[in-house]
Structure 1
Amino acid sequence: MYYPFFRGKQFELITIRDMADLLAAKGFVPVIEPVRESLGGLKKTLDAVRDAGGSAIVIVNPYHGDHQENGAGITGLLQEDFNGVDTISAGILLRHDMTVEEVMGCYRKHVDHHPVLVHSGFTEPKALAKELGDSMPDLTNIFVEDHAELLYRRNFGDSTRILVRDGFRKQRNADYVEMEEFSELHVTYDDLGMAGFGDFLMVGDAYTEGGGPAYAVAIHITFIDPDKDNVMYIYHFVSKDKETPTDPAGKFAQALEKLIEKLDSGTSHILETEAIKEFKGFHAKGHFPGLGYIKKLSMKHHIETLADYLG
């Protein structure tokens, strides 16, 4: 039903491991694009997903990061450590520079791992659909919405179709407005003929190799507004200090104070998740857990919020 799209950085993988039980219980399927050369963290994450009885999709031909030239290591990991594990699927990223022949070659190479096609810029949908032929009803196609509009998706109507929308408008931390709309896809995906939906959480589809100095610290918190047809919105709680790259702990405290004030207002619509409880704990103790951990908590809260909404 819900397919969160992760890039395989450290805290993204830790988020999946920490939430493996909830993801499995709700039938949520993380899609992971490995971007780090070392695959130890990925293996540990897939072990956690499998042990929890969950499912995951691993991109075997990443567009970003250390494996973009050669995904053989990822393929080897699936073949050696997850051979016969039906719940760990090979995701094939269909990019603008791929031909139908290349897609089908990758598909056949990974046929033992129930390949899932992830459409992100591919330009020959009709020819590919014809080539897939009778296998279409057993196939899952995931469409990144910005690269696969309605006419494109119609070519794969006989398959299980998932629509992924990037609801996070990434910009400099200092430039975020306090609140904006994130997505209504969790409400409307069925109306669009989709079997499920996904997003890029509060990281966004735009890939950056590493973060620069934090001139401002932002805490991104999603919420569903029942007064507005259950549309999901996102708060951006940004520190007051934005001029220098110093004192991230002090800036986190400023951003956290804004979050606590919003929670205390009683009108925030923010769900009291386990992640929010951790934020409250940091506020009570005056503790700064590090910027990566803050992002992890925001992702955790987002998943918990959708898990609550979807029952």
Structure 2
Amino acid sequence: MIYYPYFRGRQFDLRALTQFAGTEYANIVPIIEPVKDLNALPKTIKAFTAANNPLAVIQNPQVGHYQYQVQQRYPISDLLLAPNIVPAFVLTPLLPPELLTANPKAVVIVQHFDDLRLFVQRDWLPETVTLLAAPEARVRQLLRGRQFGHLFDHFPFPDHSADFADMTDSFYSTDAEFARFYGEIGFSDYLTMGHTYSEQGHPSRAVTLHLTYLKDNQVRVHHFVSDQHDDFAHPKEKFFEALTKTTAWITRQPEVNLTPTTARLQELSTMRKFPGMGILKQLMITHHLEIMNRYLHQNND
């Protein structure tokens, strides 16, 4: 059972992945869709290669501004030749089938059923590629007889972050159980960031922290929202409001839900230090990956 967390190559995504690359984990293959020409991108790829851990990199990104055909300030093409780097493609009608033939071990992301049907009907999908598609009955019927994993967005954002105040805890997934039931090879998701990509992000009236945790073999998410959410001002004060709720929750958690991120959040509370929203996003990503590593360990034994 393999977990394929799907990342857009934003700065905080890449920094979290670089940190994660050097930790001990198993059965996790992150997927990066490059969106910007950032120095952090080749650094991340090099970190995974140095640790000899697998990393899938999408070669035909569909969002953002990254283009392999254009000379980049921080090129990655040579780095993709490393044996631990897995080529990945988003399935579109414009994807040349010969790219899949030339990369028979590629990871293929299916975003639209009609694209999958086209490639299956024309026999353009090598049996050896790793397909990640929506967990739908029509997909299972179309792919009957071949292995694949499912890709699902478990984290649709409400219209406003403050709305999480009315939903402090939510179910995330039982993906391992689902995949095992249907005989799938693994599963993929967009972590606690959601599928929708925004180039600049969006301002929020509230500061909200999302921490993944395990309970009764479910993956769940607890949401910690600042009390103030009337305007966009005072992010530092709002952070400490959310952090106070977070640290109170952390002290009640069993060992399985405690990570370096939870320890760091407790330190920030003690020090009364606001690290900035980018660092907070990075911390939440590394926490999620650590929790999913433990979830896989429980379900692969």
TM-score using structure 1 length: 0.85
Aligned residue number for residue 237 of structure 2: 250
1:1-311 matched pairs, under 5 angstroms:
1-22=2-23, 25-36=25-36, 38-67=37-66, 70-73=67-70, 77=75, 79-83=77-81, 85-95=82-92, 98=93, 102-108=95-101, 111=102, 114-132=105-123, 135-136=126-127, 138-143=128-133, 145=134, 149-171=136-158, 172-176=160-164, 177-226=167-216, 230-264=217-251, 266=252, 271-311=257-297
Which whole-Å CA distance do the structure 2 matches of 1:162 and 1:277 have between them? Answer: 33
Structure 1 residues 243 and 168: alpha-carbon distance in aligned structure 2, compared to 1, 3 A threshold: same
Q: CA deviation at 1:153?
A: 3.7
Aligned 8 A contact 2:86 2:105 in 1: yes
Distance 1:94 1:112 in 2: 14
Q: In structure 1, how many angstroms separate the alpha carbons of the residues matched to 2:189 and 2:125?
A: 29
Separation in 2 of the partners of 1:299 and 1:134?
A: 32
Does the CA contact (< 8 Å) of 1:94 and 1:103 recur in 2? no
AA at the equivalent of 1:185: D
Contact 2:130 2:149 in 1 (8 A): yes
Report the AA paired with residue 11 of structure 2: Q
SS in 2 for 1:129: helix
Q: CA deviation at 1:187?
A: 2.7
Deviation (angstroms), 1:113: 8.1
The 8 Å contact of residues 10 and 35 in structure 2, kept in 1 or not, is answered as yes
Partner-residue secondary structure (3-state), 2:263: helix
Cα deviation, 1:67-105, whole Å, max 9, x if unaligned, reads 3xx44259995642332x23212211124xx25xx3414
Name stretches of at least 5 consecutive residues in structure 2 with no aligned partner.
none
Cα displacement (A) at 1:159: 4.4
> 1:173, 1:268 → 2: CA distance?
27
Q: TM-score, normalised by structure 2?
A: 0.88
Return the offset for 1:196.
0.7
Q: Which amino acid aligns with 1:92?
A: F
Provide the rounded CA distance (Å) in 1 between the counterparts of 2:51 and 2:136: 35
How many residues were matched structurally? 292
Q: Which secondary structure does the structure 1 equivalent of 2:202 belong to?
A: coil
Q: Deviations over 1:10-40 (max 9, x none)?
A: 00001110000336x313100111111x143
Compute the displacement of 1:124 (Å). 4.1
Structure 1 SS opposite 2:193: coil
Q: Secondary structure at the match of 2:188?
A: strand
* 1:195–1:114 Cα change, 3 Å: closer
Q: What is the distance in 2 between the residues matched to 1:113 and 1:280? A: 46
Residues in 2 aligned to 1:78 and 1:113: alpha-carbon distance in whole angstroms: 21
- SS of equivalent residue, structure 2 residue 109: strand
> Percent identity between the aligned chains?
26
Structure 2 distance, partners of 1:211, 1:149, is: 30
- Give the letter aligned to residue 184 of structure 1: T
Whose RCO is larger (CA < 8 A, sep 6+)? Answer: 2
Cα separation, partners in 2 of 1:134 and 1:6, compared to 1, 3 Å: closer
- Name the one with the larger helix percent: 1
Q: For structure 1, which segment, 301-310 or 154-163, has the greater mean C-alpha deviation from structure 2 after superposition?
A: 154-163
- Tell me, in whole angstroms, the C-alpha distance in 2 between the residues paired with 1:42 and 1:267: 34
Counterparts of 1:205 and 1:158, CA distance in 2 = 29
> Aligned Cα RMSD in Å?
2.5
